């Protein structure tokens, strides 16, 4: 090593040191520790933890509650991701044209992104109120938006879509601006209609952006917590049909103080997400259009 290289190596290690130490303490150790804890029963009041092997896993996996929560989470994702993506794409295409008030529209659509989900959820809960809510009183309905187990998951999903379309839209606009304008000019000369252009130019050329959004949103949706926590009262009869995996994790680990069981839930979520990421990565090569 030359002196210059040596000095560079020293500086390099010095510069990454705070981040690396932080990541080891704050992230890597916690991953190992969470997995470790999932093999223990959390002791009561000062008593040590008791090693129970795979008993937590057995309990979590044989509990109907876990599977229901996993299904609830997937159902939430099935609303938030497709609707959040399609509506955002349409808005992005509309806003990508030369029209007045573009930045005003963009500012409004993006607004939920800077609002605390706790506050957003509180407002929606009030909108959904069966007796006094705006929705039922304006529509002259009596729908139990958030306490009917058959509907509540959709109502929560709607809040999720409302919250995310602005963000997805901005990412789509970024992707759209990278598509060269001459593609559309050529298509115009050939007399291709707007719809035709959308499906044969926009959709394929935008597919890397779309794939990125879909992937991050799937993972984001699978870790949903705030909306369920704020909208659903603990006494709400629809709660078992709405609560997500992370909601369950929070309840067990921090409300009931059963850290071992909570750790097991989150390890299972980790495995589920890793599996999904792997599948998505493999699918990417087939779905995404590369030129």
Partner 1 sequence: MEGAERRARTRKLLTHVVLIIMAFIMLVPFAWMILTAVKTTQESISVDPFYILPASGWHWENFGTVWKSYNFIVLYKNTLLMIFFRVVCACLTATMAGYAFGRLNFPFKKILFALVLIQMMVPGQIFIIPQYLMVSKMGALNTTFGLVFPGLVTAFGTYLLKTGYEGLPKDLEEAAMIDGCNVGQRFLHIMMPLTRSSMISLGIFTAVFAFKDLMWPMIVCTNASTTTLSAGLAKMQGQYGSEYPTMMAAATLAVLPMIIIYVIFQKQFVEGIATSGGKL
Identify residues 197-256 at the interface with partner 1 (CB under 8 A): 209, 212, 216, 219, 222-223, 225-226, 229-230, 233, 246, 249-250, 253-254
Let me know how long the chain is: 291
Q: Does 68 bind partner 1 (CB under 8 A)?
A: no
- Nearest Cα neighbor of 242 from 160, 124, 156, 162 is 156
Q: Which is nearer to partner 1, 136 or 153 (CB)?
A: 136
Q: Which is nearer to partner 1, 170 or 214 (CB)?
A: 170
Q: Which is nearer to partner 1, 68 or 223 (CB)?
A: 223
Stretch that binds partner 1, among 49-57, 84-92, 182-190, 196-204 (CB under 8 A): 84-92
What values do phi and psi take at 50, rounded to 5? Answer: -110, 130
- Nearest Cα neighbor of 248 from 66, 96, 95, 119 is 66
Q: Does 85 bind partner 1 (CB under 8 A)?
A: no
- 251 CB-near residues (< 8 Å, 6+ apart): 243
Residues 123-162 that bind partner 1 (CB under 8 A): 123-124, 126-127, 131-132, 134, 137, 162
What values do phi and psi take at 40, rounded to 5? Answer: -125, 150
Q: Which is nearer to partner 1, 197 or 223 (CB)?
A: 223
Q: Which is nearer to partner 1, 117 or 149 (CB)?
A: 117
Cα maximum dimension of the chain: 80
Quick one: which of 41, 75, 241, 259 contacts partner 1 (CB under 8 A)?
Answer: 259
**Residue 267 to residue 247: CA distance in whole angstroms:** 14
Stretch that binds partner 1, among 25-33, 70-78, 180-188, 195-203 (CB under 8 A): 25-33
Q: What DSSP string runs through 245-260? A: HHHHHHIIIIIS--HH
Is residue 218 within 8 A of residue 208, CB to CB? The reply is no
């Amino acid at each position: 090593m030359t002196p210059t290289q040596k000095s560079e190596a020293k500086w390099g290690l010095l510069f990454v040191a705070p981040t690396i130490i932080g990541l080891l303490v704050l992230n890597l150790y916690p991953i190992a520790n969470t997995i470790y804890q999932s093999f223990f029963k959390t002791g009561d009041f000062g008593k040590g933890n008791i090693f129970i092997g795979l008993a937590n896993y057995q309990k979590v996996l044989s509990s109907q509650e876990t599977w229901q929560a996993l299904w609830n989470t997937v159902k939430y994702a099935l609303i938030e991701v497709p609707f959040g993506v399609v509506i955002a794409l349409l808005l992005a295409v509309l806003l990508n044209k030369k029209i007045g008030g573009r930045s005003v529209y963009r500012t409004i659509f993006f607004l939920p992104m800077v609002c605390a989900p706790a506050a957003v959820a509180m407002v929606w809960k009030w909108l959904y109120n069966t007796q006094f809510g705006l929705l039922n009183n304006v529509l002259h309905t009596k729908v139990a938006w958030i306490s009917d187990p058959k509907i509540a998951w959709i109502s929560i999903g709607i809040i999720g879509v409302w919250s995310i379309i602005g963000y997805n839209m901005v990412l789509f606009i970024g992707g759209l601006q990278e598509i060269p304008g001459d593609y559309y000019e050529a298509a115009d000369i050939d007399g291709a209609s707007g719809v035709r252009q959308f499906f044969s130019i926009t959709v394929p050329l935008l597919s890397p952006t779309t794939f990125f959004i879909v992937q991050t949103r799937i993972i984001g949706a699978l870790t949903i917590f705030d909306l369920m926590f704020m909208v659903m009262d603990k006494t709400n009869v629809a709660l078992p049909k709405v609560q997500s995996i992370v909601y369950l994790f929070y309840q067990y680990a921090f409300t009931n103080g059963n850290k071992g069981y909570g750790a097991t839930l989150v390890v299972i979520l980790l495995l589920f997400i890793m599996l999904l990421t792997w599948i998505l990565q493999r699918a990417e090569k087939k779905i995404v259009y590369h030129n």
